[in-house]
Amino acid sequence: MKTIKAFSLAAVAALSMLSAASFAQTVSVTSSTLDGAEAKIAAQAQEQGAQYKITEANTNNRVHMTAELYK
């Protein structure tokens, strides 16, 4: 009986992580400034009702920024 409970608990935990991870979405934007790029990412996150975490930013002649959106 303990094995069945442990298996059920593990299955529920795995499924709950799967549903949360299924929303994670990577977005990339370009802009002429860091503030402009972050504003674009923030707007996309707000539109989807999500939060964001910037994962990369590169500045050459323009800013390229990548972020992950999550709920």
User: b or e along 30-63 (b: 16 or more beta carbons within 10 Å of the residue's beta carbon)?
Assistant: ebeeeeebbebbeebbeeeebebeeeeeeeeeeb
Whether 21 has a pLDDT exceeding 70, the answer reads: no
For residue 59, give its domain range.
3-70
Q: What is the pLDDT of residue 24?
A: 85
Confidence of residue 60 (pLDDT cuts 50, 70, 90): confident
Mean pLDDT of all residues belonging to the chain: 81
Per the structure, how many domains does the chain have?
1
Whether 64 has a pLDDT exceeding 90, the answer reads: yes
Whether 1 has a pLDDT exceeding 60, the answer reads: no
Separation CA 26–CA 42 (nearest Å): 13
